[in-house]
């Protein structure tokens, strides 16, 4: 996984480097929707609005927009428990309790087929849905923010590696105050930015199996009621993110060079085709008198 590129107004390094999958301690989402298992059940947009509270909790409103063609019943969303991966980068991670999720459409509750902490399956087995449907999922994660002596950290995976292709992903994180530094991890084309007390991650065309996560640094004073724990983290996190950024930049350079080579090869191919076409035209012009003479001779002989 790679850090996202910094957009305009970004108050921190937005990255794109290789990174281990999100630590589940900051809420790694393994959400696979039932619709993604079959055609005609496409999740076309995922927008998450997360609000951080001064007690370290986070309220999330996730909006999922589907285009159905009458072959699906609803959806599935699952949050992964802490420690569900062997990720080694746990800087700023916390341990949290899986919550129950609620699902509504147009403000009204939808039928729930199955539910447990961190998991919800909605829809009715006897009803097929079609057209555009917009579902709103809500949940709260306690202890989402880790407070160190020198910084507060949210390390959170908003899109897990079990999602299918997502045409558009938008994540907004509202902190109690300004002074944020956002590090978004995902594909190279993603963008991260900070304006005031809001951090934003956005990805267009997120491929299947590509997580999108955020590591957000905030002044620890915004969480004054949360006791600080462990050693200082800011310097270590910044060093880790710088390493990831360098890796991403190297990959970007390699991709640009590869693209330049491919473009040059394509230009050469087109130039060769044009040259052959010109040669063919000249050959036709030169051969025309000979063909005409041959035809006259044949005609006369006939």
- What is the SS3 assignment for 131-142? EEEEEEEEEEEC
Helix (H, G, I), strand (E, B) or coil at 52: strand
Greatest mean pLDDT among 15-29, 78-92, 235-249: 235-249
Highest mean pLDDT, choosing among 46-50, 88-92, 159-163, 210-214? 46-50
What pLDDT band is residue 248 in, cutting at 50, 70 and 90? low
Residue 267 has pLDDT above 60, yes or no: yes
Q: Listing from the earlier edge strand, what are the strands of the sheet with 166-174?
A: 5-6, 191-195, 198-206, 166-174, 41-52, 58-72, 129-141, 102-105, 108-109
Reported as a pLDDT band with limits 50, 70 and 90, residue 20 is very low
Q: 3-class DSSP state for residue 233?
A: coil
Indicate the length of the chain as a whole number: 302
Q: Give me the mean pLDDT over the 112-126 stretch.
A: 93
Residue from 194, 176, 178 nearest 11 by CA: 194
Per-residue pLDDT, averaged over 48-69, amounts to: 96
Which of 174, 178, 177, 180 minimizes the C-alpha distance to 216? 180
Please count the CA atoms within 13 angstroms of the CA of 223 that sit on its side-chain side.
27
Mean pLDDT of 58-81: 88
Burial of 57 (0-12, 13-18, 19+ CB in 10 A): middle
* E strand spans, the chain: 2-3, 5-6, 41-52, 58-72, 74-78, 102-105, 108-109, 112-116, 119-123, 129-141, 145-147, 152-159, 166-174, 181-186, 191-195, 198-206, 212-218
Contact of 42 with 50, CB cutoff 8 Å: no
């Amino acid at each position: 996984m790679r850090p996202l590129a910094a957009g305009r107004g970004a108050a921190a390094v937005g990255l794109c480097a290789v990174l281990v999958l999100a630590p589940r301690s900051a809420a790694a989402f393994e959400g696979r929707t039932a619709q993604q298992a079959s055609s005609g059940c496409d999740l076309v947009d995922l927008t998450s609005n997360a609000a951080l509270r001064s007690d370290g909790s986070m309220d999330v409103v996730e909006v999922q927009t589907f285009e159905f063609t009458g072959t699906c019943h609803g959806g599935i969303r699952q949050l992964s428990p802490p420690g569900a991966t062997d990720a080694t980068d746990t800087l700023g991670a916390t341990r949290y309790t899986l919550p129950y999720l609620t699902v509504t459409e147009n403000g009204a509750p939808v039928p729930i087929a199955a539910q447990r902490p961190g998991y919800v399956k909605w829809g009715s087995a006897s009803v097929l849905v079609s057209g555009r449907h917009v579902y709103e999922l809500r949940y709260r994660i306690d202890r989402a923010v880790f407070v160190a002596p020198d910084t507060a950290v949210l390390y959170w995976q908003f899109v897990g590696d079990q999602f299918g292709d997502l045409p558009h992903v938008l994540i907004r994180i509202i902190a109690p105050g300004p002074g944020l530094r956002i590090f978004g991890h995902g594909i190279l084309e993603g963008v991260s930015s900070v304006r005031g007390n809001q951090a934003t991650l956005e990805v267009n065309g997120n491929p299947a199996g590509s997580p999108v996560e955020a590591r957000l640094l905030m002044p620890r004073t915004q969480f004054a009621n949360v006791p600080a724990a462990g050693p200082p983290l800011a310097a270590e996190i910044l060093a880790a993110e710088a390493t990831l950024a360098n890796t991403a930049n190297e990959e970007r350079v390699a991709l640009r060079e590869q693209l330049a080579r491919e473009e040059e090869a394509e230009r050469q191919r087109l130039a060769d085709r044009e040259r052959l076409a010109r040669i063919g035209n000249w050959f036709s012009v030169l051969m025309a008198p000979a063909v005409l003479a041959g035809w006259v001779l044949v005609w006369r002989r006939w």
